[in-house]
Amino acid sequence: MQLNGGGKGLKDIEVNLMADVSDCLDKYRVLKIDELKEATDGFSVNCLIEGSVFKGSINGETYAIKKMKWNACEEL
């Protein structure tokens, strides 16, 4: 078992991790609360998947929508 990334330095691992994360960012959209309420029928229990994740429909597409307690833009 190698804990050092197979001979890579810590800087190389950080760069690779940032590249992996940045590839995912285009998969997220930040929407207005009114749009999310409409998509989830007001965050109805009928749309609840689990925890704080709801099933919602936006423009005919079905999404898993996570209801967050903070400003998600700051996290992304």
Higher pLDDT, 40 or 75: 40
Give, for 24, the enclosing helix (H) or strand (E).
helix 10-25
The residue-averaged pLDDT of 9-25 equals: 54
Question: What's residue 43's pLDDT?
Answer: 95
What is each CA distance from 16 to 6, 12, 24, 26, 72, in whole angstroms? 13, 6, 13, 17, 23
| E strand map for the chain | 48-50, 53-58, 61-66
Q: How far apart are the first and last CA of the chain?
A: 32
Report which of 68, 69, 42 is spatially closest to residue 56, judged by C-alpha positions: 42
Query: What does pTM read for this prediction?
Result: 0.57
Q: Name residue 22's amino acid.
A: S
Whether pLDDT at 15 is above 70? no
Condensed to tens digits (0 to 9), the pLDDT of residues 18-67 reads 555 556 656 667 788 899 999 999 999 999 999 999 999 999 999 999 88
